[in-house]
Structure 1
Amino acid sequence: MATSEKQVMVVGIDEYDHSTYALQWTLDHLFANGPNPSFKLVLVHAKPTAASAVGIAGPGAADALPVVDSDLRKIAARVVEKAKEICTNKSVNDAAVEVVEGDPRNVLCDAVERHHASMLVVGSHGYGTIKRAVLGSVSDYCAHHAHCTVMIVKKPKIKH
């Protein structure tokens, strides 16, 4: 049975260049002439919790949380504003934007489930094996756990 409902594409966004590149690449290649009639675009930013960002316990830690949370909110607002600006510059004005508190791995996989997305787009930091093993890769995690197609957009290496 054919349905006229658009498929959903979730794009993970954050404050790093790889994320900006992945969004721009997606818009350039899949939304080249403005909105894509096949996809509803949902941009998702995972805002860390203040406690996870501080990562400390003990006297004084609680005092830092409101300041850290305020900074995280400002970062999230900048991320969202930049993403909206990129979309507008590419004539995509109907993208939905969400800021969800939590670990990006879980936030993105949950967004895929919640929106019944058929595609998830994430950028790649380009970490080496050791750094990726220590920090954990959001793109690796999503590739294995998201219940949809996952496109990992890698920023080309700059040649000297």
Structure 2
Amino acid sequence: MAEEGRRILVAVDEGEESMHALSWCLKNLVFQNSKDTLILLYVKSPRVVYSAFDGTGYLFSSEVTAAMESYVLRVADSVLEKAKKLCNNVEKVETRIENGDPREVICDMAQKLGADVLVMGSHGYGLIKRTFLGSVSNHCAQTVKCPVLIVKKPKSTAGNV
């Protein structure tokens, strides 16, 4: 495996936290002239579809559904494009867009792609938000077989010189 280099999987999304984690990874984990492969993974969360029969939701036309899907793909492409620009000094960069629950998809892709390490950002949710929303990074750290590096974005030091 050393001759091939490491396979470093980085989960990216629209948040600053994932871009900070990618930047940290590029500065501290990926070495210039190495044979490492950096894999950028964006996961599209499934749309919540309501049934018209239970009276709780909406039924969308195929045009609206197609427009929503097109928008989500544009967002994914934009996030990956931004991430790839940060990786301009890395020789091997792959991108993936997958669908599903981010917790499950990230864990599955780490296994499927043979990741040597998984790098993720942390949103830094407090206990209550984490209880209701769940923590993707916590779930992956407990589930993934490879090492997981969770990079927490430092608190803003605006105003401090």
- For residue 57 of structure 1, what is the aligned residue in structure 2? 51
Structure of larger gyration radius:
2
Runs of 4+ in 1 over 6 A off after TM superposition: none
Residue 45 of structure 1 corresponds to 42
* Count of residues paired in the alignment: 152
SS in 2 for 1:61: coil
- Structure 1: 5+ residue stretches without partners: none
Matches within 5 A, 1:39-118: 39-49=36-46, 51-52=47-48, 55-58=49-52, 60-63=58-61, 64-88=64-88, 91-118=89-116
Listed as ranges, the gaps of 5+ residues in structure 2 are none
Q: Distance in 2 between matches of 1:132 and 1:61?
A: 31
Residue 154 (structure 1) aligns with: 152
TM (norm. structure 2) is 0.86
What are the Cα deviations for residues 91-144 of structure 1, in whole angstroms up to 9, with x where unaligned? Answer: 114211100111111111111111111210000001111001100111000000
Q: CA deviation at 1:48?
A: 1.9
**Higher-helix-fraction structure:** 1
Contact 2:12–2:19 under 8 Å retained in 1: yes
How many Å separate the matches in 1 of 2:140 and 2:100? 15
| 8 Å Cα contact 1:30-1:36 kept in structure 2 | no
Q: Is the 8 A contact 1:35 1:94 kept in 2?
A: no
**Which AA in structure 1 matches 2:69?**
D
Question: Which amino acid in the other structure matches residue 67 of structure 2?
Answer: V
Residues 65 and 18 from structure 1, CA distance in 2 versus in 1: closer, same or farther, beyond 3 angstroms?
A: same
Q: Is the contact made by 2:44 and 2:97 (CA closer than 8 Å) also made in structure 1?
A: yes
Distance 1:157 1:4 in 2: 38
- After superposition, the Cα gap between the structure-2 partners of 1:57 and 1:92, relative to the gap in structure 1 and judged at 3 Å, is same
